[in-house]
Amino acid sequence: MISPEQEKHSDKCAVRVNCGLTHDMKKAGCDCDGFHTFNELYKHRHALFVALCNHKRSLGWKSFQHEDGSMFEGMFIAGFSTPDGPVTYHLPKRYWALFHVQSIERAPKWDGHTSDDVAKRLLSIQ
């Protein structure tokens, strides 16, 4: 997961085919696939999840705590119900106000979904 400090530097990352990134750029979260930095990809993922949750607000939620009351520093969790099960992501706190969904005290218990499950569940949305 990318840190808030790394995302802050995303606009300073030069993206070149075959990357050619310096060590300092990699430390700032600027690793890339030859086209986009990881910072850019995380920023897009965050924006897409905000848009999805806000499009069907009744299916989304957000919380500052996992089911057990824990949370990663500087983060919150948001979730969305799909026909095949929930999709959840941890996001930097600065995205909290962008989610116009129900705020709940604690997130529902994690059902053990994997990254592959998330991709399948996202594709189940009609």
Give residue 45's domain range. Answer: 4-123
Q: How far apart are CA 47 and CA 66, in angstroms?
A: 22
- 99-117, pLDDT tens digit by residue? 999 999 999 999 999 999 9
- 2-54, pLDDT tens digit by residue? 455 544 544 444 444 345 555 555 555 567 777 888 888 999 999 999 999 99
Summarize the confidence of residues 52-59 as an average pLDDT.
97
Q: Specify whether the CB–CB gap between 91 and 48 falls below 8 A.
A: no
Q: What is the DSSP string of 38-107?
A: HHHHHHHHHHHHHHHHHHTGGGEEEESS-TTS---TTEEEEEEEETTEEEEEEEEGGGGGG--SEE-SSP
- 60-84, pLDDT tens digit by residue? 999 999 999 999 999 999 999 999 9
Token pair recorded at residue 73 = 């520093």
In the chain, the number of structural domains is 1
